[in-house]
A and B are shown apart, each in its own frame.
Chain A
Amino acid sequence: MERISYERADSVESAMKGGSRADAAFLAGGTSLVDLMKIEVLKPLHVIDVSRLDLRKIDVQQNGVRIDAMATNTDVAEHAGIKKRLPVLVEAILSGASAQLRNVATVGGNLLQRTRCAYYRDLATPCNKREPGSGCSAIGGWTRMHAILGTSDACIAAHPSDMCVALAALEATIHVRGPKGERDIPFADLHLLPADHPEREFSLAPGELITSVFVPFSAHGARSRYLKVRDRASYAFALVSCAAALDVQGGEIRAARLALGGVGTKPWRVPEAEQALAGKPAQRASFQRAAELLLAGARTQKDNAFKVELGKRTVVRALSLAAEAS
């Protein structure tokens, strides 16, 4: 790791002040940032520890729940209210990483988690995200764990977070505070597609600090499941994952939300796929149609072509599980 200077923010204001420096980074749990700093993929020279800010509450409100940014993954997964009304979120969090990591990883940090692409993480292999313009080693390389949706000729790195897939399907809103004031970012707008600039990953302005996430309650949110397909039984990144939320009345789908993980450069939603489910019977045929739409436009590489078929089956299975849930 580079030599760094460290400061502990005692207020959001002081955090933002330091955070405006180009060579500064906010440090919460550290499970993504410290990891990448140790292997010198990310090299902030100044870290601002925001983990002890008074931003750890989980506030159940009328229409939804506001989760403060420093709440840990474990805090969220253990919350009775969230378990009851947003089960997909709990399932997604519990399927990710290990207990040790979940005990420390914060919601804010999880939102800003970096990709696990092996070429990104290896300083010896060119990477456009790490060093703009240096090339993408993954394309034409080992692509089993890489994205098939939202890719570009510059980057095919998959988004790694499970929590984000659930929050995408639940249409969460992210609240940030920055030097220019406060604003809300719809979940779908937080993560950027790589396009020609894979180094630009978030729609945050310099100095902006995520302070909370609001997740609305809904009928479909209460009947939601997360399915993660991976190479081993636990502690592994997704080959494909799916968050499925269904509002079913009398066997008919009133509303559906779907998001995919493991296959997109960001959590992947296709409104068309969700609309195709509305008004349809909660049966396999409807699910398959939605799966087709959700995986439409996939651009595959040599090693990840299987994710199209596996992806479709995962969607169908996740929707079946959501339909069964009561």
Chain B
Amino acid sequence: METTCIGPAPDLSFQLAPPLEGASELSGTTSVLAFCAGFSGSVTEELRAELRGLGAKLVAIHPRGGLLIAPDDEPRPLAPAPHLWEAYGVRRPEHGGPGLTVLLVDGQRRIRFRREGDALAPVEQALLKALRAAAASTRGIGRRELIVNAIALALGAALLEACATSQRKGGDSLAGDGSGLVEVPLIVNGQKRTLRIEPRVTLLDALRENLGLTGTKKGCDMGQCGACTVLVDGKRVDSCLALAVQHEGRSITTIEGIANGEELHPMQQAFLDHDAFQCGYCTPGQIVSAVGLLREGCPADDAGIREGMSGNLCRCGAYPNIVDAIRSAKGRV
């Protein structure tokens, strides 16, 4: 399945645009070069996730300049570089060239793949689909070489069918045979979400791994710390000891659903006001648990708050401030 090497990459030096200075030399790392008519510059978290997964940087080059995107950096604007189009032999879109030309360059500066095509969707979307397809098809492949090949093939495939969709994780097995998966419709933070997962997936892992809701934390995974606290039909529970499949039709509220849009929930504000956290890892569980506690009835005094919140460990020792926060939120919740 070796893709032949098309040739050496002629130029991997990209001039940064003002106010930045200098050039960025991409070598020793996988790079995706995308020559296109335009690139909005909005770099979504999804695109960053794909780039992280591939260990790749993306250089989007368009007639007025370009963008250098590394997954964990701010995108850096590039100066217009007409010479690059020439160097790579790409005809510009305004001169009748293709809407999108993608090249893949490996860590040894070799071009492994080249495809041209009309981008039927916005370039960012086409790229995202291409990268996702590449990731999906690289599962189970052992050799570094084959990754590059697979990216190449996948990019090509994705570009040719720009509307291709691929379902993320959710237990889609490698072989795609769906063995042992069940449909689990959940209502999470007011939204209907249907997962296709194995029955053994806990509610906690379904939230974190399958729905990308990482606000709920895994502290012990055995119901001993409360970091995974969510509300199920308004009651606080440890999601690590709950099977997702048991919660069909139940309304689940996570920390991401506690606020009222942009407006913080009074409990969240109280935690901020009283510095009721330090490292923050137990904090989502504390807040959700506190909301649940006050729904169960107003604790009469601080001792009641302490006892009622003892199912949420805080190793940073912020307990006194947590109690202050909850006390101040009594009556406001």
Hey, which bits of chain A sit against chain B, CB under 8 A?
A: 1-6, 8, 27, 30-31, 34-35, 37-39, 47, 49, 51, 74, 97-101, 103-104, 233-235
Say yes or no: A100 contacts B236, CB within 8 Å.
yes
Q: Say yes or no: A103 contacts B223, CB within 8 Å.
A: no
Does A99 contact B241, Cβ atoms closer than 8 Å? no
Please give the distance in Å from B68's CB to the nearest CB on chain A.
44
| B323: Cβ under 8 A from any A Cβ | no
Do A30 and B243 have beta carbons less than 8 Å apart? yes
- CB < 8 Å: which of A30, A99, A100, A103 contacts B246? A30
Q: B184: shortest Cβ distance to chain A, in Å?
A: 10
**CB proximity of B175 to chain A, nearest CB, Å:** 15
Tell me the complex Cα distance, A234–B224, Å: 12
Q: Indicate whether B82 reaches chain A with its CB closer than 8 angstroms.
A: no
Given known pairs A6-B243, A27-B246, the reply for A103 and B180 (CB within 8 Å) is no
Q: A35-B223, A99-B311, A101-B311 are in contact. Are A5 and B246 (CB under 8 A)?
A: no
Distance in angstroms between the alpha carbons of A99 and B289 in the assembled complex? 9
Q: Give the distance in Å from the alpha carbon of A49 to the alpha carbon of B248 in the complex.
A: 12
Chain B residues with Cβ under 8 A from A39's Cβ? 222
Interface residues on B, range: 20 to 34
Q: Are B307 and A31 in contact (CB under 8 A)?
A: no
Of residues 205 through 243 on chain B, the ones whose CB sits less than 8 Å from some CB of chain A are 221-223, 226, 229, 235-238, 241-243
Q: Which of A5, A8, A34 has the most CB of B within 10 A?
A: A34
The distance from the CB of A140 to the nearest CB of chain B, in whole angstroms, is 26
Q: Check B202 for interface membership: any CB of A closer than 8 A.
A: yes
Q: Considering residues A2, A38, A47, A100, which has the most beta carbons from chain B within 10 angstroms of its beta carbon? A: A100
Most chain B Cβ neighbours within 10 Å, of A4, A37, A99, A103: A99
Pick from B180, B242, B245, B308: contact of A99, CB under 8 Å: B308
What is the number of contacts between chain A and chain B, taking CB atoms within 8 Å? Answer: 85
Bound CA–CA A5/B237 (angstroms): 24
Interface hits, B177-207 → A, CB 8 Å: 180, 182, 198-200, 202
Q: How far is the CA of A104 from the CA of B289 in the complex (A)?
A: 14
Main secondary structure of the interface of B (DSSP, over half): mixed
User: Nearest chain-B residue to A34 (Cβ)?
Assistant: B241
* Known contacts A38-B222, A100-B226, A31 near B241 by CB under 8 Å: yes
Q: Which of B245-291 contact A (CB under 8 A)?
A: 245-246, 289
What CA separation (Å) do A113 and B187 show in the bound complex? 30
Nearest residue in A to B229 (C-beta to C-beta)? A100
| Residues in chain A near residue B307, CB distance under 8 A | 233-234
Contact partner, A104, options B221, B226, B237, B296, Cβ 8 Å: B237
Cα(A5)–Cα(B200), bound, Å: 8
19 CB < 8 A contacts A-B: A5-B180, A5-B199, A6-B182, A6-B243, A30-B241, A31-B223, A31-B241, A38-B202, A39-B222, A97-B311, A98-B226, A98-B238, A99-B236, A99-B296, A100-B292, A101-B223, A101-B241, A101-B311, A233-B306
For B200, give its contact among A3, A101, A103, A235 (CB under 8 Å): A3
